[in-house]
Amino acid sequence: MFSGEQTKYLYLEKGRKLLVYSLIIAMLLMIWLPYVWMILTSLQKELDLYNYPPPILPKKLTLESYKFVLKDEKFVNSLYHSAIVSFTTTAICLTAGTLGAYAIARLRFPFRNTLYFSLMILYMLPGIAMLIPLLIIIRKLGLIDTHLGIILALSAFLLPLVMWFLKGLFESVPLDLEKAARVDGCTRLQSLSRVILPISSPGIAVTAIFAILTSWNELMFAKVLGVFNIRLVTPAISDWITPYDIHFSELSAGSIIASAPLLVIVLILQRYIIQGLTEGAIK
């Protein structure tokens, strides 16, 4: 039989396990329930939403709201515009960012550390402090309400973060590998493209996801810089939120369409993303 001390210990262990698992279950419910609730909302008819008591498990599921939303030309176009903008922004950030990050990671030049440090400040700068002049500049360039206008603004906004991530990534590639390539006659750019980039490609993929996600999710710049012709998906959804008449079923359907694809990608690549996120924040 157990002695008193041992029993006490066992009880403590049991209590601790119980506490740990109940906290975890609470956390999982807290995270997932709102999104699941939105999915359920999107699968019901608008009128059925206003029953009392609210149907916890809806009796009749329907794709009507999705059909309705996907027939809305403005919304479908906004998805298309958002895709173009976020992919091009990411491409620009990765290209410029790779070159710049390589320089910061591997080359010696004056003010290197200052530059590296200012990247973080640049990223944290409140967008509102640049938005009015940006609007004026982009209008002067004749790029208001065009893809390019939004892409340029978002690229500048995202570039510091992308460079910050890539610099950390490139630094973690062993210097010897690059030296070996240089001895074998590679130029610096070749060693970048043939040694560093292939090795750090998983990290670059994660950085790309960050950039796509951030530019896809951004609201303020998108709203101000694209008004009529180029309405991106976030402002398009925000336009549906009016003070008097909100169609929650359709709004939810649109929100699911706008968020689910990227969410799935993030969940699939979770291991690398968690690594990238936490290293970026901690390094």
Partner 1 sequence: MQTYDSWAISLKNNEQEIAERRQMNEGKFAFLLLLPSLILIAVLILYPLIYSFVLSLSNFDIQEMTRTYVGFSNYLAIFEDQRFAISLKNTLIYLLLNLILGIVISLILALVLDEPIRGKALYKTSLLVPWAISPIVVSVMFLWIFHANYGIVNYALLSLGLVREPIQFLGDPAYALYTITFVNLWKFVPLVTLILLTGLQNLNRDQIKAAKIDGANAIQRFIYIILPHLRPTILAASIVLIVFSLLTFDLVYAMTGGGPADSTFMLYFLAYKTSFDWLRLGYGASIAYWVTFIVVILAILMHRFFRERKAV
Binding to partner 1 in span 90-129, by CB under 8 A: 92, 95-97, 99-100, 102-104, 107-110, 112, 115, 117, 120-122, 124-129
Looking at the Cβ atoms of 1 and 243, the one nearer to partner 1 is: 243
Per CB under 8 A, 220 contacts partner 1: yes
Looking at the Cβ atoms of 1 and 185, the one nearer to partner 1 is: 185
Q: How big is the site for partner 1, counted in residues (CB under 8 A)?
A: 93
- Residue 268's CB is within 10 A of a number of other CB atoms, namely 10
Site stretch for partner 1 (CB under 8 A), options 30-38, 63-71, 168-176, 196-204? 30-38
Binding to partner 1 in span 264-283, by CB under 8 A: 266-267, 270-271, 273-274, 277-279, 281-283
CB of 215 to partner 1, least distance (A): 10
Looking at the Cβ atoms of 207 and 255, the one nearer to partner 1 is: 255
Binding to partner 1 in span 177-206, by CB under 8 A: 188
Residues 6+ apart with CB under 8 A from 105: 166, 167, 170, 171
Backbone phi, then psi, for 125, in 5-degree steps?
-55, 135
Residues 6+ apart with CB under 8 A from 3: none
Residues 6+ apart with CB under 8 A from 249: 41, 42, 44, 45, 46, 49, 64, 65
Per CB under 8 A, 259 contacts partner 1: yes
Instruction: Decide: 170 and 196 in contact? Cβ < 8 Å.
Output: yes
CA gap 229, 265 in Å, rounded: 29
CA gap 140, 120 in Å, rounded: 29
Binding to partner 1 in span 132-151, by CB under 8 A: 132-134, 136-137
Strand, coil or helix: what is 221?
Answer: helix
CB of 229 to partner 1, least distance (A): 19
Residue 39, token pair as written in the block: 């999915």
Residues recorded for the chain: 283
Binding mask 55-94 for partner 1 (x = CB under 8 A): -------------------------------------x--
Site stretch for partner 1 (CB under 8 A), options 48-56, 60-68, 171-179, 195-203? 48-56
Binding to partner 1 in span 222-241, by CB under 8 A: 224, 234, 237-238, 241
Q: Report CA torsion sign: 58, 63, 67, 69.
A: positive
